[in-house]
Amino acid sequence: MRNSEATTHVGMEIEATARPSGNGSTLPGLSPLSETLWREKANSEIIGDVSARLTWKDLTVMVTLSNGETQNVLEGLTGYAEPGTFTALMGPSGSGKSTLLDALSSRLAANAFLSGTILLNGRKAKLSFGTAAYVTQDDNLIGTLTVRETISYSARLRLPDNMPWTDKRALVESTIVAMGLQDCADTVIGNWHLRGISGGEKRRVSIALEILMRPRLLFLDEPTSGLDSASAFFVTQTLRALARDGRTVIASIHQPSSEVFELFDQLYLLSSGKTVYFGQASDAYEFFAQAGFPCPALRNPSDHFLRCINSDFDKVKATLKGSMKLRFEGSDDPLDRITTAEAIRTLIDFYRSSQHSYAATQKVDEISKVKGTVLEAGGSEASFLMQSYTLTQRSFMNMSRDFGYYWLRLVIYIVVTICIGTIYLNVGTGYNSILARGSCASFVFGFVTFMSIGGFPSFVEDMKVFQRERLNGHYGVTAFVISNTLSAMPFLILITFLSGTICYFMVRLHPGFWHYVFFVLCLYASVTVVESLMMAIASIVPNFLMGIIIGAGIQGIFMLVSGYFRLPHDIPKPVWRYPMSYISFHFWALQGQYQNDLRGLIFDNQTPDLPKIPGEYILEKVFQIDVNRSKWINLSVIFSMIVIYRIIFFIMIKINEDVTPWVRGYLARRRMQQKSGAQNTTIAPDVLTQSPSLRTYVSPPTK
Amino acid sequence: MEIEAAATDRSKPSNWGAATETDRDAPYTGFDRGSFLAWQDLRVVLPNFGKGPTKRLLNGLNGYAEPGRIMAIMGPSGSGKSTLLDALAGRLSKNVVMTGNVLLNGKKKGLGYGGVAYVTQEDVLLGTLTVKETVSYSAHLRLPTSMSKEEVNSLIDGTIIEMGLQDCADRLIGNWHLRGISGGEKKRLSIALEILTMPRLLFLDEPTSGLDSASAFFVVQTLRNVARDGRTVISSIHQPSSEVFALFDDLFLLSGGETVYFGEAKSAIEFFAEAGFPCPRKRNPSDHFLRCINSDFDIVTATLKGSQRIHDVPNSADPFANLATAEIKSMLVEKYGRSTHARRAKNRIQELSTDEGLQPSTQHGSEASWWKQLSTLTKRSFVNMCRDVGYYWLRIIIYIIVSICVGTVYFDIGYSYTSILARGACGAFISGFMTFMSIGGFPSFIEEMKVFYRERLNGYYGVAAYILANFLSSFPFLVAIALTSSTITYNMVKFRPGISHFVFFTINIYSCISVIESLMMVVASLVPNFLMGIITGAGIIGIMMMTSGFFRLLSDLPKPVWRYPISYISYGSWAIQGAYKNDLLGLEFDPLIPGDPKLNGEYVITHMLGIELNHSKWWDLAALFVILIGYRLLFFTVLKLKERASPLFQTLYAKRTIQQLEKRPSFRKMPSFPSQRHQPLHSLSSQDGLDSPLQ
């Protein structure tokens, strides 16, 4: 009931906003929602439609492998996609459907080279973020947010600042309704410990995020993979509806069920990089029958098509025959008499001479003659401040809801500090307490900060979301770094304040308010440094486990040279003293804390008759601390380290984004030039089965 | 009974190899080897003692499976297909209660560990072994020791060929850092492992999920061949493609825990047509069936209508365009109840359940002797450790690097006054922090544990054999780690010279690392996931380090809790005491103020480091070994308890539930119950875990 109310409310709102623009000459056949969405664009641009007509002609993609060989992953493809239609790219795994999608959306990897023409509205255009949206196969979403929150944060991150909040909200609500998410709008998405929405709903949320910016062209990489039939049907149905609103939708699809297949408008069937069929999905049935491969009754046509062009079946049959199990019950299937490889060849030849191929070429020429609107849009239209603010808010929300991010650590910190507190309970000023105070400080700054590693997995999750949004141009690296720093601050302060207080008062460290403040601040700074260090590591290291191991190793070495395990003057000068001990934050923390704790105290000597020992003497002689440097300087060094690590993080991401692809492309070109004589332009299907997408292109396993 | 069956099998060992060969050629004829499985009025409920209704997962199902045929259990997600499969295989989870009869060859059966061949949905395999190795280790683990080598080998080769794995027989399976065989091959390998011992009854849980059409076809085709050899194959399946569906003989269609159809797969089309829902021509029948009974489609339609898209709901010729699936489903269930299919099934079940003449064929776990199991396991585990870079090799490298770091920081430590503390710190750092690094092998160990759980569930070997094998196979690596790191640090730091001191130092490091390994094993057996394991492990090690006598002198530790008992349980305190005694006794150090008499080792140990000298360093080492054995025993106990306690608990629980149910005249029905399998709460390591955050 509530939902339907909300729906009608939104509907009214949309109508209300749509009315003033309704001069009749705008886009026909659009739902009221879409009309609103494109109203401003339609008015601001040249008169005419703003839809995207994509054509590609003689598209060939060549990749270079690490051994210098080149392969044609796509060969001479021609086709088009028109507004209002839903085009499905189908083919067995390794046939190049993901590559085609990448090529059309200009997301090819750096070691792939493209020839042929791709025209958008008759113009050569590099598709930028915003014009075309790309929905990847995996849904990297923040698990602790609800569906509505996810979408509305995304809207605030990207929609222009000057758009009134009510408009944004209307847009968010209408997107939720358009994607059929109204029932789960207030359910959390779910992560490893929270059960949330289903896989199909997640997929639709991912799509919703991409259509927020009103792209005219929508690419989807296997939107139905991993979904059950009802969810897959729902997702496809939604995509079709999006297409009917005047968008151009292109999706690669793997093994659609019968119901899903019926929803396709255009079908592009690929096998080993060549076109097997391109045309109306409903005509494909006829096409296969004409080519001599009629689809048996009671069979899903798409299953039949894939069966005909999947050369893996040859291997399967050969192996089955090899295993002396010739128990193929006789069937009327023509495919039992000829191999799939032959079938593919027949079909490709048949398509080339068919009227479908002819019609496609003609249509492509026709569309590309019309020079349409230049569609352009940047990534995010929100200002930097808005992005930072929204990100901070979102990240804070996530941290406060994710139990593993900080809350678990808070508990662990309190437990550990209580342990420390009871062990060093009321440490006093006896002779033995000199060492005890030292080791207490080193334990707190060494092992307690070490526990910060526990938040690494949650951070890695965060990074994945960042990665996706960054790739789609939602916001910049700077905004991410700033927001992460700001949103983590309250939690870190809470953690260090509580554990610092427990430790300080149980152990009874040097009394005095400022000593207490220094201790807590120093602990805060150290924990934050560890956080920033782990962030920097996460940006360099390929996986989660390696991250933890490397993080632990670096901290271990820092601890070793901190001046507790080996006194500062005894640390070997080359490498370890200069520069390692100065890089180690433990070193600065201990220098500061020792001064903070011992200066001004007087300790008993070994036997009562000997003179008492002043703290300054211990600092200089026993712990070998530089007493001339103020403890506050030590603290500020740690704070500057935080900044430095964040900058390293920033630089690493920039390098990953800009330099690495350039280097890869350069290397690929070099290799190609070296091998330019020997060109092997046929594709080895068994190589590609392992890596259907070029984004993860790896050299084939050597046999 | 089990022993008897085993004995009869062993009495004709020559049949093992020969039977497989002849079986393949001769068509299946006799009833002598077959298993007839029948189930009558099978009900499974998930009781709920608190608020909320009790959930019926299965509701009075009848059916049977015959040798030589392959049966598909189909239904939308949450329809109870996995529950049915589990109920038949005797693998229901602990929190549900089953009533009704499951008859194997006319007898009620009790299936425990190793009772049945069951291929689970995920393929739990050791990624570092090749296909052939996996099969042959499994064969050696389970086949009777009386079988000759040739027989075993021919069985292994036969199985590999039967499952069409000959092309990839020498390829690695692959894990997170090794690229290996494809998903379809993995699945066929899992099946191969289960059919090695020629079971008569084979259960599979969604064998095609996650496979592409060619691989799925291959898997099901091989299953069909397995069935044609006279075995009874029952498999749940989710959205089969047209080719795959055509391979099944029988179909059990479920929706909401009720039978929609049971009978020959081919007659199902007719049944649906008669019920008024004919399958359209260009449709996969199985898609059509699921479309008819999947109530999720109601929600989809409702939501689509809600989002003002009615103008574009497909206008296909579906007879159910304006009929809710829930209605269709209930019509079909009712229709089935009155159909000839149901009657025929009932008669056949009657026939099967009264037929007492059939030999009850009981599956059993391993028939190999304990020594054979131990040696095979040790060998396998050793090969795995050798090939898995993350298991020990990576750690050896890290240990070498850390040792060199430690060695240079404390280089040539000398005998000055400050070196006293430095020696202490060095010992503490080595036994504390360096052993901490052992956590790095935890993920690999977890992988191995998964394989252990699967094989244990199938009754391949005992807990003791596993623990001992793990200890033996890891021994060389741990010794290598201890030896390299001790040699580097000992010689660089120049600890107290003397061969016996070096030996003690090495053994001390070895036992520390072994204790941590064993501790992590105990943690792994208690903790649900990888991340929790690392956090718990780190926490325990942290506390042990704190009480080890370095951070706070043993004599200064607060007496309750920390001194007694924790410092005595802590491996760290024994290791450090031993290391101090080993290093310092007999040395002389410069005093603090030049000119004072030199400090000897005894004085330093008792007065500065707070250690008492009333037992020798070798006693400290012995204590470490006692702790080591203690942890291994604890690990053994935990694993045993988990197995023993759960069946006992289950019986009690079932009794109590039935009592509860008798009090309630009826329980409300839940609309749809989300299956645990389709939204599993994965552990973090398997979920993303090893994927890159940034690449």
Tens of pLDDT along B517-575? Answer: 899 889 988 887 777 787 788 888 888 888 888 888 888 888 888 888 888 888 888 99
Which of B409, B468, B380 has the alpha carbon at shortest distance from B173?
A: B380
Q: How far apart are CA A46 and CA A50, in angstroms?
A: 9
Asked if B461 has any chain A CB less than 8 Å from its own CB, the reply is no
The minimum CA-CA distance between B429 and chain A, rounded to whole Å, is: 8
Q: Which sign does the torsion angle of CA B511, B514, B520, B523 carry?
A: negative
Pick left, alpha or beta for residue A96 (phi over 0 → left; psi -120 to 50 → alpha; otherwise beta). left
**Residue B4, both tokens:** 């008897």
CB A343 within 8 A of CB A317: no
The span from the CA of A60 to the CA of A70, in Å, is 12
Distance CA(A27)–CA(A42), nearest Å, equals 9
Lowest mean pLDDT among A9-23, A475-489, B640-654, B658-672: A9-23
pLDDT of B51: 57
Burial B465-474 (b: 16+ CB within 10 A, else e): bbbbbbbbbb
What pLDDT does residue A334 have?
60
Distances (CA, A) of A170 to A8, A34, A162, A376: 12, 12, 15, 24
The DSSP 8-state label assigned to residue A562 in this structure reads: S
What does the longest C-alpha to C-alpha distance in chain B come to? 110
| CATH of the domain spanning A54-369 | 3.40.50.300
Residue A107 or residue A400, greater confidence: A400
Q: Is the pLDDT of residue A1 over 50?
A: no
Residues of A in contact with B561 (CB under 8 A): 422
pLDDT at A8: 41
Quick: pLDDT tens for B253-285.
Answer: 998 888 999 999 889 989 998 888 888 888 888
The tens digit of pLDDT for each residue in B576-634 reads 899 999 988 888 888 877 888 888 888 888 888 888 888 899 999 999 999 999 999 99
**pLDDT, position B104:** 80
- CA dist., res. B121 & res. B225, Å (int): 20
Backbone angles phi, psi at A260, to 5 degrees: -65, -40
d(CA B89, CA B94): 14
Specify which of A128-132, A356-360, B298-302 reaches the highest per-range mean pLDDT.
A356-360
CA gyration radius for chain B? 31
Structure tokens at A75: 């060969």
- Chain B residues whose CB is inside 8 A of the A408 CB are 535
Cβ neighbours around A593 below 10 Å, total: 29
pLDDT of residue A648: 93
With contact defined as beta carbons under 8 Å apart, do A61 and A74 qualify? yes
**CA separation, residue A512 to residues A271, A505, A521 (Å):** 77, 11, 14
A240 and B312: CB-CB below 8 Å?
A: yes
Residues A260, A261, A265, A271, Cα dihedral to 10°: 130
Domains and CATH numbers, chain B: 2-354 (3.40.50.300), 370-642 (no CATH)
Chain B residues inside the 8 Å CB shell of A463:
693-694
B contacts of A413 (beta carbons < 8 Å)? none
Q: How far is A544 from chain B (nearest CA, A)?
A: 6
Using a CB–CB cutoff of 8 Å, tell me whether B346 touches chain A. Answer: no
Res B472: pLDDT: 94
Instruction: Answer yes or no: do B542 and A416 touch at CB < 8 A.
Output: yes
Compare CB distances from A542 to B282, B429, B692 and report the shortest one's residue.
B692
Q: Do A419 and B312 touch (CB under 8 A)?
A: no
Q: Which two tokens stand for residue B237?
A: 């399946």
CA-to-CA separations, B3 to A699, B195, B361, B463, in angstroms, rounded: 53, 21, 12, 21
Which has the minimum average pLDDT: A185-194, B22-31, B343-352, B471-480?
A: B22-31
Query: At A400, is the pLDDT very low, low, confident or very high (cuts 50, 70, 90)?
Result: very high
Q: Do A258 and B306 touch (CB under 8 A)?
A: no
Whether the per-residue pLDDT at B665 is higher than 50: the answer is: no
**Confidence at residue A126, expressed as pLDDT on a 0 to 100 scale:** 62
Average the pLDDT over each of A330-334, A428-432, B679-683 and give the range with the smallest value.
B679-683
- Predicted confidence at residue B448, as pLDDT, reads 86
- Is B474:B128 a contact under the CB 8 Å cutoff? no
The model's pLDDT over B69-104, given as tens digits with 9 standing for 90+, comes to 999 999 888 788 888 888 888 777 777 788 888 888
Residue contact A92–B212, C-beta within 8 A: yes
In this prediction, residues A266-291 reach a mean pLDDT of 91
Which DSSP string do the residues of B50-68 spell out, in sequence order?
SSSPPEEEEEEEEEEE-TT
Measured from the Cβ of residue A47, the count of other Cβ atoms closer than 10 Å reads 9
pLDDT value for B381: 93
In whole numbers, what is the pLDDT of chain A averaged over residues? Answer: 81
Q: What is the pLDDT of residue B308?
A: 54
A447 CB neighbours in chain B (<8 A) are 542, 545-546
Q: What is the mean pLDDT of residues B26-45?
A: 67
Structure tokens at B142: 């389970």
Query: A331: which 2 tokens?
Result: 């069937």
Going by C-alpha positions, the residue among B275, B643, B254, B674 that lies closest to residue B461 is B643
In whole angstroms, give the CA distance from residue B86 to residue B118. 9
Cβ distance of B426 and A285 shorter than 8 Å: no
Contact A701/B179, CB-based, under 8 Å? yes
The pLDDT, as a whole number, for residue B670 is 36
Across residues B189-194, what is the average pLDDT? 91
Residue of A697, A696, A648, A666 whose CA lies nearest to A540: A648
**With 70 as the cut, is the pLDDT of residue A3 above it?**
no
Q: Which residue has the higher pLDDT, A210 or A45?
A: A210
Q: What is the pTM of this model?
A: 0.81
Mean pLDDT, rounded, for B190-202: 86
Contact list in B for residue A689 (CB cut-off 8 A) is: 182
In Å, how far is A234's CA from the nearest CA of chain B? 6
B303 touches chain A (CB under 8 A): yes
In contact, B198 and B147? CB cutoff 8 Å: no
Instruction: Say how far apart CA A561 and CA B356 lie, in whole Å.
Output: 79
Interface of B with A in 161-200 (CB under 8 A): 161-164, 166-167, 176, 179, 182
Instruction: Answer yes or no: do A323 and B164 touch at CB < 8 A.
Output: yes
For the cut 50, the answer to whether the pLDDT of residue B473 exceeds it is yes
Q: Does residue B156 come out as left (phi exceeding 0), alpha (psi in the -120 to 50 range) or beta?
A: alpha
- The predicted pLDDT at position B660 comes to 64
Tell me what percent of the residues of chain B surpass a pLDDT of 70.
82
Domain ranges of chain A: 54-369, 384-658
Interface contact flag, A237 B304, Cβ < 8 Å:
yes
Q: Which residue has the higher pLDDT, A405 or A329?
A: A405
Q: Between residues 524 and 553 of chain B, which touch chain A (CB distance below 8 Å)?
A: 531, 534-535, 538-539, 542-543, 545-547, 550-553
pLDDT value of position A375: 61
Residues in chain B with CB shorter than 8 Å from the CB of A307 are 213, 242-243
Backbone angles phi, psi at B625, to 5 degrees: -65, -35
Q: Which alpha helices (H) appear in B38-111, and where do they start and end? A: 81-89
pLDDT averaged over chain B? 80
Q: What is the pLDDT of residue B650?
A: 66
- For B214, the closest of A180, A316, A432 (CB atoms) is A316
pLDDT over 60 (residue B16): no
Q: Which residues of A touch B273 (CB under 8 A)?
A: none
Average pLDDT over residues A459-487: 87
CA B104 – CA B66 distance, rounded (Å): 10
Entry field: residues in chain A: 703
Q: B71 forms bridges with which residues in the sheet?
A: B234, B250
Helices A340-352 and A301-309: crossing angle in degrees, nearest 10, is: 110
Output the pLDDT for position B109: 63
Q: Which of A48-52, A247-251, A696-700 has the highest mean pLDDT?
A: A247-251
**DSSP codes, A352-366:** HTSHHHHHHHHHHHH
Measure A545 CA to nearest chain B CA, in Å: 6
Inspect the interface and report whether the beta carbons of B225 and A439 lie closer than 8 Å.
no
Tell whether the model's pLDDT for residue A223 goes beyond 70: yes
Are residues A556 and B296, on separate chains, in Cβ contact within 8 Å? Answer: no
Rounded percentage of chain A residues whose pLDDT exceeds 70: 84
pLDDT per residue as tens digits for the range A20-57 = 333 333 344 444 444 444 444 444 443 345 678 888 98
Which is more confidently placed, B286 or B684? B286
Q: Which residues of B58-91 are buried (b: 16+ CB within 10 A; e: fewer)?
A: bbebbbbbbbbbbbbbbbbbbbbbbbbbbbbbbb
CA-nearest residue to B283 within chain A is A300
Strands (E) in A196-247, as ranges, are 217-221
How much is the average pLDDT of A457-472?
84
Q: Average of pLDDT values for A342-347?
A: 89
The residue-averaged pLDDT of A190-207 equals 85
Residue numbers of B between 356 and 385 with CB closer than 8 Å to A: none
Which residue blocks in B438-570 are alpha helix, DSSP H? 442-457, 463-493, 499-526, 530-546, 566-569
Residues in chain B: 695
